[in-house]
Amino acid sequence: MGRVFNFSAGPAMLPAEVLERAREEMLDWHGSGMSVMEMSHRGKEYVSIAEKAEADLRELMKVPANYKILFLQGGASSQFSMVPMNILRGKTSADYLNTGHWSEKAVAEGKRYCNVNIVADTKGSKYTTLPKAGELSFNADAAYVHYTPNETIAGVEFGYVPDTGDIPLVADMSSTLLSRPVDVSKFGIIYAGAQKNIGPAGLTIAIVREDLIGHAQAGTPVMFDYKTHADNGSMYNTPPTYAWYVAGLVFEWLKERGGLEGMALINERKAKKLYDFIDGNDFYSNPVDRDCRSWMNVPFILANSELDKAFLKEAEAAGLSTLAGHRSVGGMRASIYNAMPEAGVDALVDFMADFARRNG
Ligand SMILES: *Cc1c(COP(=O)(O)O)cnc(C)c1O
């Protein structure tokens, strides 16, 4: 069997070109006589791989010089704790926007360290809406403001960056990082687990403004202190070397495709195709407000949910894999990250149209 179009929310598809390159370099990386997996992380070969990946990410995202890029482990979930541990800086509260499943998790963990003020909450709409920029206001004594620009499960995405003035803005970009340009200078911390839109699971990227480093609260484990990783080039201990290398291949792949500006054009077009089809058809629907629909995660339901099982089974047989919605919401979800080719979205739309014709 050939490769399927894999609509998984994560771990998700990687570009075929990246996997082929990793295969070519698997046994003998650039004449080193060994696999990247077998290299010392302190050897000159691996250090060159790591530095190139960081430089390429800095270039892709135009990361300003006063930000460190950290290559960590522990997933985005560890950042839910690492953020308050590091940047409360003696303050006792932080503001959080609660806009979905992942925000809820961040809020729950934040509450273990400080008073959490929920400054926006869209639970009442079942997380199908987002606050408008003008509706947001923040507490002047908040240590930081945390939000989730793209909620992977409900499929809502902010079309703007909240203006928090001097309060550091922290963003969980796990399912949107690298999908379009972002102005990093508006953020205090950006973090993301790699397995959605960056590379293999096991790597977590944090982009941290330098003035927020070095303030970890007393008792913070050394591995949870940003300063530990910033001072040691993310090599205080053994980093996730192979995942870092593959992420580097993805960064090169993105640079060859017009960078994030190029990806944004493709991603917007892919998402529009799928939403336009869903909206133009009584058989399917998407519950999310039109002005905050995600480019990356597209949930949809069938008007007749008794057909869900048949839909998923026939889709799988047609090479369209992992379309079931998250277990908490049901229905379907198509995750269409950077690595999903436009042909995958075309194949999905064709299949959906055919299924509707046969079952409508
Ligand atoms: C997947 C996801 C997480 C959890 O990531 P882990 O790396 O598994 O901890 C957190 N936030 C968002 C927005 C996600 O999509």
What CATH number corresponds to the domain at position 188?
3.40.640.10
Instruction: Give yes or no: residues 321 and 211 share one domain.
Output: no
Q: Would strands 169-172 and 145-147 be described as parallel, antiparallel, or unpaired? A: parallel
**Mean pLDDT, the chain, as a whole number?**
97
Between these two residues, 280 and 327, which has the higher pLDDT value? 280
Which residue of 82, 151, 175, 178 sits with most ligand 1 atoms within 8 Å of its CB, as the best mutation to test the pocket?
A: 175
Does 81 map to a domain? yes
Say whether 295 is catalytic: no
Instruction: Give yes or no: residues 183 and 217 share one domain.
Output: yes
Instruction: Give yes or no: residues 112 and 178 share one domain.
Output: yes
217, pLDDT greater than 70? yes
Instruction: Give yes or no: residues 323 and 274 share one domain.
Output: yes
Distance CA 101, CA 125 (A): 13
55 in Cβ contact with 183 (< 8 Å): no
Beta bridge partners, 193, equal 204
Task: Kindly state if the Cβ of 77 falls inside 6 Å of ligand 1.
Answer: yes
Task: Kindly state if the Cβ of 174 falls inside 6 Å of ligand 1.
Answer: yes
Cα 294 to averaged position of ligand 1 atoms, centre (Å): 16
Angle subtended at Cα 347 by Cα 156 and Cα 197, rounded to the nearest 5 degrees = 45
Task: Kindly state if the Cβ of 8 falls inside 6 Å of ligand 1.
Answer: no
Distance CA 257, CA 254 (A): 5
Domain stop point among 222, 238, 256: 256
Provide the 3-class DSSP secondary structure of residue 154.
coil
Q: Where are the alpha helices (DSSP H) in the chain?
A: 16-24, 44-61, 75-87, 101-110, 226-231, 241-256, 259-279, 308-317, 342-359
pLDDT of residue 329: 83
65, pLDDT greater than 80? yes
Does 7 map to a domain? no
Among 275, 299, 287, 284, residue whose Cα is nearest residue 353: 284
Rg of the chain on CA atoms, in Å: 21
Does 9 map to a domain? no
pLDDT of residue 328: 83
- The backbone torsions φ and ψ at residue 310, rounded to the nearest 5 degrees and listed phi first, read -65, -40
77, pLDDT greater than 80? yes
Does 172 map to a domain? yes
Does 1 map to a domain? no
Residue with tokens 């909240």: 162
Say whether 313 is catalytic: no
Task: Kindly state if the Cβ of 73 falls inside 6 Å of ligand 1.
Answer: no
Q: Whose Cα sits closest to atom 2 in ligand 1?
A: 174
228 in Cβ contact with 236 (< 8 Å): yes
Does 8 map to a domain? no
Among 346, 282, 338, 359, residue whose Cα is nearest residue 319: 346
Instruction: Give yes or no: residues 215 and 285 share one domain.
Output: no
Chain segment 163-207, per-residue pLDDT in tens: 999 999 999 999 999 999 999 999 999 999 999 999 999 999 999
Domain stop point among 199, 232, 256: 256
DSSP secondary structure letter of residue 66: T
pLDDT of residue 81: 98
308 in Cβ contact with 302 (< 8 Å): yes
16 in Cβ contact with 3 (< 8 Å): yes
User: Could you list the residue range(s) of the whole structural domain that residue 334 is in?
Assistant: 258-359
pLDDT-based confidence at residue 327 (cuts at 50, 70, 90)? confident
Q: Mean pLDDT throughout 246-273?
A: 98
Instruction: Give yes or no: residues 285 and 198 share one domain.
Output: no
Does 6 map to a domain? no
Cα 31 to averaged position of ligand 1 atoms, centre (Å): 36
The two most distant CA atoms of the chain are separated, in Å, by: 63
Instruction: Give yes or no: residues 293 and 317 share one domain.
Output: yes
pLDDT of residue 1: 60
CATH number, residue 275:
3.90.1150.10
Instruction: Give yes or no: residues 222 and 343 share one domain.
Output: no
Beta bridge partners, 170, equal 146, 189
Say whether 172 is catalytic: yes
Instruction: Give yes or no: residues 213 and 119 share one domain.
Output: yes
Instruction: Give yes or no: residues 111 and 193 share one domain.
Output: yes
Instruction: Give yes or no: residues 203 and 127 share one domain.
Output: yes
Q: How many domains does the structure of the chain reveal? A: 2
Does 236 map to a domain? yes
Q: Mean pLDDT throughout 215-242?
A: 98
Task: Kindly state if the Cβ of 287 falls inside 6 Å of ligand 1.
Answer: no
Instruction: Give yes or no: residues 267 and 237 share one domain.
Output: no
Distance CA 107, CA 13 (A): 29
Domain stop point among 241, 256, 271: 256
Q: Mean pLDDT throughout 64-82?
A: 98
